[in-house]
Structure 1
Amino acid sequence: MTSPLPAGVLFDMDGTLVDTEPHWQSAQEALAASAGTTWSQEDFEASIGRPMERWATILSERGVAGSIEEIIARAVAHVSERMRADMPWLPGARELLAGLADAGVPCALVTNNAGVNAELLLAAAPRGALRLAVSADDVTSPKPDPEPYLSAATRLGIDPARSLAFEDSAAGAISAHGAGLEVWFLTSHTPDPGVPAQLLSSLAEIGVAEVQAALRAGTAARA
């Protein structure tokens, strides 16, 4: 008889583990300024959690020079530089990752960010906390498609139906929910994840015990 796959935890990156959203906003604003146009707060908020091609296409249509790939590369480099200088961990993120690693809970990163920035976060995370990353470079269809979460679950060797995802954008929550994971949602950008979810204001609200209890409850409910 085949043993069931274990439960695990998958984490979004920007706005969930690290506060890189201001870096993305400043990158987009600088790109817009280079073409003599603007990038409003509403433009930025509409881009959160969405594929990078979406906002890069809008900037291109507003006159920003270069291909879509070149526009994205300029923004990614801007964010990478700032992450290398100072990794902007959100409250409770490092502590939760470290605790889950000590408890032996398999965890991975799932992000619409570029692979280079995902690797920077993996290197800065507590030792062994994030075992792998699935980035925009690794999938055909980024969030809100379920592919990133399904890919991460497969590579990590966990059962998505018994696992949790931490997200802060509706696009990410829809992706995780579509992949079959239970969603725990940070309401820093929007109070509405668009799917059933456990709502949180910060990772500092919870500890390893709460996550393990949820994983056990999910396992029992799906047995």
Structure 2
Amino acid sequence: MPHTSPTPLPGGALFDLDGTLIDSEPQWQIAQTRLAENAGVTWMEADFRATIGQPMPRWASILSDRGVPGTIEEIIGDAVEFVTEQIRTRMPWLPGARELLTSVAAAGVPCALVTNNAAASATLVAEAAGVFGAVVSSADVTDPKPHPEPYLRAADQLGVDPRRSIAFEDSTAGATSAHRAGMPVWFLAGHTSDPQVPVARRLTSLTEVSVDDVLAALLEDRSGTATAVPGDR
């Protein structure tokens, strides 16, 4: 059986949402494509891939520039409503995700959800998981990923040292955010082969990670403190 830490851990396990814990990316692609088709414009697979993990205004601005009506906020709101309803109907957990969350939380590891996604989607997943001590969505930050603010904010809310923590990510923007926050990155390479920042561990699935792996990494002695890069955006 996995052991638990006899004393409070100095770090935590911080998880991205889409592509890391759940696979709602197909729903986002459908939502974006529907918006484009209803306006008589195009949204290609390449457009979707180029904006994975980026702040939502990025893809909404592209759609707006191509002729999708409404403000950026309205375009995002339409997509969020569609995706939220889809995942409310069936939570698309990725293999090993729910099991890992449950086991690390039971072992006393502080856990956070850190996403560029909307608050509504983040809340649904957080409620389904029932283990997060902090949830940071696009609504909670001034500068989303790839800026370090989301991960630094989540670590602060958990009361853990970013440099003694682990960030689970699957996108370049997310890995960059965590790296700039001083966190070792455990990178899921299903969508992106090169995160463009150093990673501590490369994964194909969360089924490859055990609670003992996480505890061993969190108990490693890493000195230093994490700070945001001045002017880093």
Partner of 2:12: 8
Contact 2:9 2:109 in 1 (8 A): no
- Equivalences for residues 115-194 of structure 1 within 5 A: 115-125=119-129, 127=130, 129-194=131-196
- Shift of the 5–140 alpha-carbon distance from structure 1 to 2, 3 Å rule, reads farther
What RMSD in Å do the two structures reach over aligned CA positions? 1.2
CA distance in 1, matches of 2:189, 2:36: 28
Partner of 1:33: 37
Select which of 83, 88, 113 maps to 2:117.
113
Partner of 2:58: 54
Select which of 204, 210, 218 maps to 1:207.
210
Taking structure 2 as the reference length, the TM-score comes to 0.91
SS of equivalent residue, structure 2 residue 112: strand
State how many pairs are aligned.
Answer: 216
Gaps of 5+ in 1: none
Contact 1:5 1:157 in 2 (8 A): no
Gaps of 5+ in 2: 1-7, 225-233
SS of equivalent residue, structure 2 residue 142: coil
Q: Following TM superposition, by how much is the alpha carbon of 1:221 offset from its aligned partner in structure 2, in angstroms?
A: 3.4
CA distance in 2, matches of 1:140, 1:5: 29
Select which of 75, 92, 102 maps to 1:71.
75
Partner of 1:17: 21
The amino acid of 2:212's aligned partner reads: A
CA distance in 2, matches of 1:214, 1:222: 14
* Identical counterparts, % of pairs: 61
Q: Following TM superposition, by how much is the alpha carbon of 1:6 offset from its aligned partner in structure 2, in angstroms?
A: 1.7
Larger helix proportion, structure 1 or 2?
A: 1
Select which of 65, 90, 96 maps to 1:92.
96
Deviations 1:80-131 (A, max 9, x none): 0001000000000000000011101000000000111100001110x3x212
CA distance in 1, matches of 2:127, 2:46: 33
CA distance in 1, matches of 2:98, 2:74: 32
CA distance in 2, matches of 1:6, 1:51: 30
CA distance in 1, matches of 2:96, 2:210: 9
Q: Following TM superposition, by how much is the alpha carbon of 1:222 offset from its aligned partner in structure 2, in angstroms?
A: 2.3
Q: Following TM superposition, by how much is the alpha carbon of 1:14 offset from its aligned partner in structure 2, in angstroms?
A: 0.5
CA distance in 2, matches of 1:101, 1:11: 12
Deviations 1:170-214 (A, max 9, x none): 000000000000000000111111111111000011110111111
Taking structure 1 as the reference length, the TM-score comes to 0.95
Contact 1:122 1:132 in 2 (8 A): no
CA distance in 1, matches of 2:72, 2:161: 36
The amino acid of 1:6's aligned partner reads: P
Indicate yes or no: 2:191 matched with 1:221: no
Q: Following TM superposition, by how much is the alpha carbon of 1:5 offset from its aligned partner in structure 2, in angstroms?
A: 7.6
Q: Following TM superposition, by how much is the alpha carbon of 1:132 offset from its aligned partner in structure 2, in angstroms?
A: 2.0
SS of equivalent residue, structure 1 residue 16: coil
CA distance in 2, matches of 1:21, 1:168: 12
